[in-house]
A and B are shown apart, each in its own frame.
Chain A
């Protein structure tokens, strides 16, 4: 039997077994765990911590943050799962099969949580897991691999209260193979986004005409050539003024870094060194009037339009090269959420990892993380989910009910980085019993998008 058949057979067997027997939470839903979590995440919603506020709310009593759902059934530090290790573990079984087939590395790519209702203090949860599907082998930017999707369902008694579709890529790492080296990329729903690899990015050569431009990007300035004689701007830079013809006294001015999309394309073929397909290239008309080309970050192909306000977004490739790109300027768009800028300190990473009961050492032990090839300790996924919830409810208000959080995971967010959340309301349904809103969020760090996703919330319908 071929290795592929072995994997497919195992997938059929595990999926056919259906939902596993329950794994019970070690503790009931409780205030101390909630407080640790809200402190670490920075969520100040009084719904969780203020019993009087909670009593007046639609819930009538204190409830747990919905994004904590996975926390309750996490195993403790060094302890066995609370089922004595007897409950079947569909994800673990598939991981073992794929390990044996040589697909030894794993990266989580997607997490979709749906909350059927908020949890009250004292409830004891049980988790049942099932294998949804295993697809592959796929050629990905990380190497050949298989996508494994499992569905976790949490029960309170017999009542399902939340579910989570969890997708991981189990892959065989290929040394030296990076994005854009000719391999087909995984589809838009499933590519583990990588930071640009310094070795694969095409390096623009400098010339006397362009030196000032690259010196500018290196310190976060977008510099536009300006004629010292007549003041006209030109881009791309060149040896003379395009308006008066002066060849000397060519100077520059620092652009405001804002503009709008004048035209754009969605690049899908051929592969480009250092880029993940597809990506958006925008011809941006600067506020100052000249046009400049660059990659548009953080905007999905179906969300781009001519006229979209953008602002400059620098990407540091390495010590020598900083590339200018573009990002939607949500400050000037109606329906946009105010940005949240977080300093990702070691304290944030360690305290949130602990509060989400994720004791894997890469989230608290720097030496361990570095030995494994990471730059530093990095944010764990449960905390990312929590930060996404906090970002949206900070804006939507404490009474908003979070119905689902669906995120796609991207570049790791290391200690010392800055994580910037931005968001946009993309759907706004009013008129029913509840107003429903869909918010698309992006959490960007220096390596690119750490997380992108969608949060669905409802609020009590306003009196009209």
Chain B
């Protein structure tokens, strides 16, 4: 989407550009209890997630020398987390926010810090606690932005939250390519089938295409089952160097490539609104950095705030030609037993909604080979996407299983 000839070839700028021992590895993963977990603050979830990730790697908090924090719709996670965890003399600390693409951005920043020698063990954490007993999830997200800044006009026009904005984008895709609600439904059905195999998933009861079509309208063309869940909880990951990871508890998950794209064309006269996302730029760049092509991807974890987000980014990453995401989704390639291992934990539609940490956490589980009933036989190359705003921000990571070191 952008033409930047002055950039270095991504293959020369990533982890392979540094000596092997310093190359970045995801060595720890911590998931708190996720879903309808009430009575805990985002800061409490965040602190627990970091402790779990550190323990997962076989480390102690004293080994952590970098911390990147991020928060969701309820805020509450900040630089204060350092003090809550008793971390002293950190060499890297910052709070990051690029919405659903933040997880990918945090891992990228941590990887750059590790491969430069700036820090050696960096914890990246997200936590949120929007669910309240007796309160609909739509109401929680609906009030976001309702009264502030220019969103005030949108709120007064009846646009609250992200649902209508993504539905506007999906409508463009439908108009241009003939994409249908049923085709979107295939994505929801496939991910629910995956969620049935994931003990950590919130929604594990199988659904049919008819259930999808019969679920109530939210913002047409979206049914309820086109929209993600809302969850409470926290997830943290640890980024360290390959040489440090060698003595840690878990099989190393290599960070092979990364890229971002922030199109910045929101509501401008771009003719491709709803048709193309930042994945079309970030995807090839991240794959090039990793030295692989989309055909080499064994497992894909694509950000799924809506079924539509999955459909349009499948096209942008090149899993199918542009405009053919609908027929592709309906062709039987998705779900357990299909040929594309996509969103194998149920994603945010049926698993848990932890923004970019949802695809990242399942990617780590798959890359390690720890997926249990839902484990992909091949897991050397795992693609992870993060999407934020209204298709405004995109981050891609390419991860490698233990056998796929750079």
Contact = CB atoms under 8 A, between A and B. Distances in A.
The judgment on whether A and B are partners is yes
Interface of A: 182, 201-205, 207, 210, 213, 234-237, 242, 262-270, 272, 274-275, 278-279, 281, 283, 285, 289-295, 301, 306, 321, 323-325
B142 interface: yes
A270 B150 contact: no
A270 B268 contact: no
B164 interface: yes
A213 B154 CA distance: 14
Interface string B69-85: 00000000000000000
A29 B198 CA distance: 76
B218 A269 contact: yes
Given A281-B157, A281-B158, A291-B267, A265 B146 contact: no
Nearest to A289: B269
7 A-B pairs closest in CB distance: A204-B152, A270-B138, A266-B220, A265-B167, A202-B155, A263-B168, A268-B217
A323 B157 contact: yes
Interface stretch (B35-43, B169-177, B237-245, B322-330): B169-177
Contact of B157 (A213, A269, A289, A294): A294
Contacts of A203: 147, 152, 156
Contact of A290 (B142, B164, B222, B269): B269
A205 to B, nearest CB: 5
Contact of A270 (B142, B153, B267, B274): B142
A236 B267 contact: yes
A283 B168 contact: yes
Nearest to B223: A268
28 contacts: A202-B147, A202-B152, A202-B155, A202-B160, A204-B150, A205-B147, A205-B149, A236-B150, A262-B273, A263-B168, A263-B172, A265-B167, A265-B221, A267-B164, A269-B217, A270-B136, A270-B138, A274-B156, A281-B158, A281-B164, A283-B267, A292-B267, A293-B267, A295-B157, A301-B220, A306-B172, A323-B156, A324-B157
A156 to B, nearest CB: 46
A268 B156 contact: no
Name, among B139, B218, B220, B222, the residue most crowded by chain A CB atoms within 10 Å (CB to CB). B220
Contact of B216 (A268, A290, A325): A268
Contact of B156 (A182, A202, A265, A289): A202
Given A236-B153, A265-B219, 14 more contacts: A210-B150, A235-B267, A236-B150, A237-B150, A262-B172, A263-B175, A265-B222, A266-B219, A267-B158, A270-B136, A283-B168, A290-B269, A291-B269, A323-B156
A294 B153 CA distance: 8
Interface residues of B, number: 39
Contacts of B159: 281, 293
Nearest to B220: A266
Contacts of A263: 168-169, 171-172, 175, 273-274
B148 interface: yes
A285 B172 CA distance: 13
B177 to A, nearest CB: 13
Contacts of A323: 156-157
A266 B267 contact: no
A265 B170 CA distance: 9
B86 to A, nearest CB: 41
Nearest to A325: B157
Interface string B170-204: 01100100000000000000000000000000000
Contacts of A289: 269
A43 B132 CA distance: 59
B381 to A, nearest CB: 36
Contacts of B175: 263, 306
Nearest to B142: A270
Contacts of B138: 269-270
Given A210-B150, A266-B219, A270-B139, A204 B156 contact: yes
Interface string B125-150: 00000000000101100100011111
A152 B312 CA distance: 55
A405 to B, nearest CB: 29
A267 B168 CA distance: 11
A291 B268 contact: yes
B169 to A, nearest CB: 7
Contacts of B169: 263
Contacts of B217: 266, 268-269, 278
Nearest to B171: A263
A384 B269 CA distance: 43
Given A269-B217, A293-B159, A323-B156, A264 B168 contact: yes
A262 B13 CA distance: 40
Nearest to A317: B156
Name, among A207, A210, A268, the residue most crowded by chain B CB atoms within 10 Å (CB to CB). A268
A299 to B, nearest CB: 14
A454 to B, nearest CB: 22
Contact of A207 (B146, B149, B167, B171): B149
Name, among B158, B217, B218, B269, the residue most crowded by chain A CB atoms within 10 Å (CB to CB). B158
Nearest to B154: A293
B160 A272 contact: yes
B158 A279 contact: yes
A279 B168 CA distance: 14
B153 to A, nearest CB: 5
B219 to A, nearest CB: 4
Contacts of A268: 216-220
Interface in B316-344: none
Given A267-B164, A268-B218, A202 B146 contact: yes
A292 B156 CA distance: 13
Contacts of B216: 268-269
Nearest to B166: A265
Nearest to A217: B153
A214 to B, nearest CB: 9
A207 B151 CA distance: 12
A364 to B, nearest CB: 37
A301 B221 CA distance: 11
Nearest to B218: A269
A200 B190 CA distance: 41
B135 to A, nearest CB: 10
A264 B218 contact: no
Interface string B267-280: 11100011000000
A324 B154 CA distance: 10
Contacts of B267: 235-236, 283, 291-293
Contacts of B219: 265-269, 281
Contacts of B163: 265, 267
A306 B217 CA distance: 19
Nearest to B146: A202
B268 A242 contact: yes
B333 to A, nearest CB: 28
Given A202-B147, A291-B268, A265 B164 contact: yes
A281 B175 CA distance: 16
Contacts of B158: 267, 272, 275, 279, 281, 295
